[in-house]
Amino acid sequence: MSEETKVTPTTETAPAAPAARAERPARPFGKKRFESRRKVCKVCAEKIDNVDYKNFQFVKSFTMESGKILSRRITGTCAKHQRQITKAIKRDRNLAILPYSLPKK
Ligand SMILES: [Zn+2]
């Protein structure tokens, strides 16, 4: 009784392994997987040449509530501006304008 219930979940989660993925040619989801929306760099869109650490309201929008820096994948910023943003955030942290971390709620 107890053994069966333990075994079944492990077999279902097995396809996460790379070997199992290679065996399956077609995707189980026949419908469209997701609709991608074009991400635009917020800094480019606002035509800001250099991200200023003094503009902390704007810089803050690239951090999580916990104080973590949001990745490029999530915000859609270009590489050049992401570099400037991280620098600005780190500068603001050092100046105690932005937090290094905040406790989770
Ligand atoms: Zn940009």
Mean pLDDT confidence for 1-23? 49
Q: What is the pLDDT of residue 80?
A: 94
User: Is residue 4 in a domain?
Assistant: no
Reported as a single tens digit per residue, the pLDDT across 16-29 is 555 555 566 666 66
User: Residue 63 maps to which CATH number?
Assistant: 4.10.640.10
Contacts of 104 (CB under 8 A, 6+ apart): 66
Mean pLDDT confidence for 32-43? 79
Distance between Cα 98 and ligand 1 center (Å): 22
User: Is residue 29 in a domain?
Assistant: no
Distance between Cα 43 and ligand 1 center (Å): 5
Distance between Cα 88 and ligand 1 center (Å): 14
User: Is residue 12 in a domain?
Assistant: no
Q: What is the pLDDT of residue 1?
A: 45
Per the model's pLDDT, the better-predicted residue between 82 and 12 turns out to be 82
User: Is residue 26 in a domain?
Assistant: no
User: Is residue 48 in a domain?
Assistant: yes
Distance between Cα 34 and ligand 1 center (Å): 25
Distance between Cα 16 and ligand 1 center (Å): 35
User: Is residue 66 in a domain?
Assistant: yes
Distance between Cα 63 and ligand 1 center (Å): 16
CA atoms of 84 and 59, how far apart (whole Å): 10
Q: How many domains does the chain have?
A: 1
Reported as a single tens digit per residue, the pLDDT across 59-71 is 999 999 999 999 9
The torsion angle over the Cα atoms of residues 68, 90, 83 and 59, rounded to 10 degrees, is 70
User: Is residue 9 in a domain?
Assistant: no
Give me the domain span that covers residue 47: 42-94
User: Is residue 99 in a domain?
Assistant: no
Q: What is the pLDDT of residue 22?
A: 58
